[in-house]
Amino acid sequence: MSAQSNTRLGIWLMVATTFIFAVQDGISRYLASEYNVFLIVMVRYWFFAAFVTAIASRKSGGLRATARTEQPMLQIFRGLLLAAEICVMIYAFTLLGLIESHAIFTSYPLLIAALSGPILGEAVGWRRWGAIFIGFVGVLIILKPGFGVFAPGAIVPLVAALMFALYGLLTRYAARKDSAATSFFWTGISGAVVTTLIGLAYWEPMSAYDWMWMSMLCVTGATGHFLLIKTYEVAEASAVQPFAYLQLVFAALIGVTMFSETVEVNVAIGATVVVCAGLFTLWRERQKA
């Protein structure tokens, strides 16, 4: 298969991935309005742990070889950080809805660019610093502090974006010694352990109808991660990453059609500014590479 075909396939896989993750967020928003967030994330991680274990067992050397790492504390912390970020983001859905939460969350690539210097020692030039500044102007437009009533809950998805950015940077750092399969395995297992320790205290009966949605949540989570793995196998990350922003579009469509949310003017303008700034930082990274 030619490089061009690989890129084209990778783009379509990324589009499918973002759609599935948006559907997953919509299901999470519904379930979180009916049940405790920790319960939802715990059940989701049980399925995720089974999924990563199945993948690890198929790798060369089996489960033991995949789980072997020289940096277990880093890998465990990554897993705990992602689990916590998922809880925070789902909570944001219940406070702000899908549209505004995702509009703010799209700032995470800018946070990765800003933190890549102090954490990974990467050089960040003035152009990318300029894009980061403009991107956060976009976030301020969404939050509109000083105009009308500022909702403190709007800080929640920003915290989730910061946590996810840190998770992404630590994943890059872990990749210096561990394979992607090893990091993926530890992400699922450590997350499942901590969410179970917390989530069992919030166990409550779930209706058969909601178990159907819970099953779909688990399936979409596993399918989305599987497609994401395949995406990066067939195409360069720099070529497909810009299409990850489509998750905001899909989430907005689900928010409007399924939850009767509305797209406020400041959210639309701010999200556009954030996405454009993020695309510029991705372009600069590709130019440097």
Domain segments of the chain as ranges = 3-288
d(CA 229, CA 211): 27
Residues in the chain: 289
Burial of 98 (0-12, 13-18, 19+ CB in 10 A): buried
Residue-level pLDDT at 4: 45
Give pLDDT tens digits for 96-121.
999 999 989 988 888 887 887 777 67
pTM reported for the whole predicted model: 0.86
Task: Tell me which DSSP letter residue 35 carries.
Answer: S
In the chain, which stretches have pLDDT less than 50?
A: 1-4, 147-149
- CA R_g for the chain: 19
| Look-up of token digits 């949540």 | 217
Kindly state the tokens that stand for 163: 């946590």
Give pLDDT tens digits for 17-66.
999 999 999 999 999 999 999 999 999 999 999 999 998 998 888 899 99
d(CA 112, CA 243): 17
d(CA 163, CA 79): 11
Helix extents (H) in 33-71: 37-58, 62-67
Residue-level pLDDT at 288: 66
| Look-up of token digits 């899909």 | 250
Kindly state the tokens that stand for 57: 């067992």
Helix extents (H) in the chain: 3-32, 37-58, 62-67, 72-96, 98-105, 108-120, 126-143, 155-174, 180-199, 208-234, 237-240, 246-259, 265-288
